[in-house]
Amino acid sequence: MPAAHDAKTTASQLTQELAAEIKGKVVLTTGVSPKGLGAIFVNAIAKAQPGLLILAGRNTTKVNQTAEDIKAVDPTVKTKILQLDLGSLAGARSAAEEVNSWTDVPAIDVLVNNAGIMAPDFQLSPEGFESQFATNHLGPFLFTNLIIDKILASKSPRIVNVSSDGHRLNPIRWDDYNFQNGESYDRWHGYGQSKTANMLFTLSLAEKLGGKGLQAYSLHPGVIGTNLDNALDWNVQLPSLRAADRALGNKEGWADFKWKTPDEGAATHVYAAFDPNLKDHNGAYLENSHVADPWVETVKPWGTSQIEAARLWKLSEKLVGKEFNY
């Protein structure tokens, strides 16, 4: 029996436990800048002889640094670099075209949609969508669906969408996802909407493609000091986060952060991507390397509703200008 997992479980520990599942797998991970959770994840699993690590990111200089770090872990691990700007739909399309052109990569076993932004000042994407909704949801939605044939070509396809317990901060704003083009913008409501979208996208993937063998999971990694929040002035933004939580009656509005180490923070990534015992929980939202329990953990009903998931799929198709019928 594997050891019970909790907040102190590390990516390194799970890599050892799941080494047989990782070995030989082709894994595409987005958002792999050094010191971020994506980089910590790929560096951890590099110790278990994956078949190929596809490293995707907007800044290829940073992505190449992560590739060099992997080489230092194990020089025999193969890597491939993918330039991917999820902040624009054009960037998602371009990267998907490149992936689909790779004749030497006929299948992708695991896609980890890890890239994201958190609580920036209001801005619109090139296509006119609020930047968090665009980068954290619409870009990954389009990219994932455009490369889905390569994922389904795997014998055990899996998609991991990195969400957050920050989904507690807002459901989908169906009739105003753009915050009146900034007039009513709250950075934490925008973050919450995008993280709710990650959970709902996962539910739809499991529902639509589970019959074809796809497993899909979303997760909350925990609170970790990474480059995700580099642009935030926490002296200003922590009070605004507290206020957003307190307005909703969320316990987080009065609680201190429970910090994790980077190795602990990437643990649920490894669990979601490779644990074979998850197959009976397709579409689940995970936390601390287990299926999150809404009775005792922060799991809002707007992130687990099949109706909300179906509505978001339809809205996303409309916004990206393409239907995906499975």
Q: Which are the catalytic amino acids? A: 185
Q: Residue 124 in 3-state DSSP?
A: strand
Tell me which H or E stretch contains 285.
Answer: strand 285-287
Q: Residue 257 in 3-state DSSP?
A: coil
| Chain position carrying tokens 């991507």 | 273
Give the angle subtended at the CA of 100 by the CAs of 103 and 312, to the nearest 5°.
Answer: 155
Q: Which residues, other chains included, contact 321 with Cβ-Cβ below 8 Å and sequence gap of 6+?
A: 89
Rounded Cα–Cα distance for residues 286 and 301 (Å)? 14
Rounded Cα–Cα distance for residues 3 and 226 (Å)? 27
Helices (H), the chain: 11-17, 19-22, 37-45, 60-73, 89-101, 131-133, 139-146, 148-152, 187-209, 234-248, 262-265, 267-274, 306-320
Rounded Cα–Cα distance for residues 35 and 66 (Å)? 9
* Token code pair at residue 254: 């009065």
Rounded Cα–Cα distance for residues 200 and 210 (Å)? 15
Rounded Cα–Cα distance for residues 194 and 243 (Å)? 19
| Chain position carrying tokens 């509005």 | 253
Rounded Cα–Cα distance for residues 28 and 55 (Å)? 6
| Chain position carrying tokens 């080494």 | 19
